Amino acid sequence: MNRWTKVIGTGGYLPPIIRTNDDISSMVDTSDSWIYERTGIKSRRIAGPEETASSMAEIAARQAIDMAGIAATDIDMIIVATGTPERVYPSTACLLQERLGIKHAVGFDIQAACSGSVYGLSIADQYIKTGFANNVLVVGSEICSRIVDWSDRSTCILFGDGAGAILLTAGTEPGILSTHIHSDGGYEDLLYCPNPQVAAEAKQHELAFISMRGNEVFKVAVNTLGRIVDETLAANGLQQSDIDWLVPHQANTRIIAATAKKLGMSMDQVILTLENQGNTSSASVLLAFNEGVRDGRIQGGQTVLMEAFGAGFTWGSVLLRY
């Protein structure tokens, strides 16, 4: 009998502090209209000084566990996607494991920038299908505000903080239909964040923040996400019309609209959280999926396409039947 990976719980957390475009316009030379027209963002959430990647991950994870109706101790693997851990080691997954009171699970972090949650889901799917794990918790948790230069207009308008979680289990009915992940390090200089320790040693404070060549990233992202859509549909013998929902990485409304157009989908079939969350990097896909599930738009039996693109470049997709 085939083992499939099924979704049994979702969760999300957004910090209470809201930073609007007007707030940012008091910090750099910009305006609400300028930001919104170019990105689709109106506001974003900012983590408080006491919050960490693991503390936010815990809140999102507990929501997913509650929805699933299992005990935290039933989880045998924890995968956390983050580029903003509070410690280099132990991993954020181990810190989350301790917060959840789980003693007998394996936990590890992955770093794939904005594609992190998609990578995490792909890894979890392999472990469940091969029988190595039964219940896997995947979390994307990011405090992007701490690696953004708030005097750089090109990047500070884009990012926000938050955590998304999904709980997966082994089942006998199709759930995750396929995953597809890729990377190409040849684009390393278009979007990156240096190691803050290296920057500190070099006494180059400005190097500790996200750096992006936005126009070039945009062009590659649109073309790459178009190809991943084709790859995913072909692998499953599906047509564009077979997809009920698109749950994209929340980076820019123009990129998202281009992917929807590729699928022949209206924006009404796209889960959008960008306007009031900004780009939460690896958390964004899981936050959007959680919102779509909890507000009732995503229903049982529907087919959902998740896709993401991030620094590296990394990119990937997950096709699942909810």
Contact 190, 88 (CB under 8 A): no
Dmax over Cα atoms in the chain, in whole Å?
60
DSSP assignment of 40-74: --SEEEE--TT--HHHHHHHHHHHHHHHHT--GGG
Catalytic residue (one of 144, 249, 252, 290): 249
Q: Nearest to residue 105, comparing CAs of 83, 132, 87?
A: 132
CA dihedral 191, 92, 283, 321 (to 10 degrees): 120
Q: Tokens 């123009």, residue?
A: 254
Q: Tokens 């599906």, residue?
A: 238
Q: Nearest to residue 272, comparing CAs of 303, 251, 258?
A: 251
Catalytic residue (one of 114, 144, 156, 193): 114
Whether 249 is catalytic is yes
Return the exposure string of 257-287: e unless at least 16 CB atoms fall within 10 Å of the residue's CB, then b: bbbbebbebeeeebbbbbeebbbbbbbbbbb
Give first-to-last CA distance, the chain, whole Å. 20
Return the exposure string of 233-243: e unless at least 16 CB atoms fall within 10 Å of the residue's CB, then b: beeeebeeeeb
Whether 279 is catalytic is yes
Pairing mode, strands 176-183 and 314-321: antiparallel
Taking phi over 0 as left and psi of -120 to 50 as alpha, with beta for the rest, 166 belongs to beta
Pairing mode, strands 245-248 and 135-143: unpaired
Active site residue ranges:
114, 249, 279
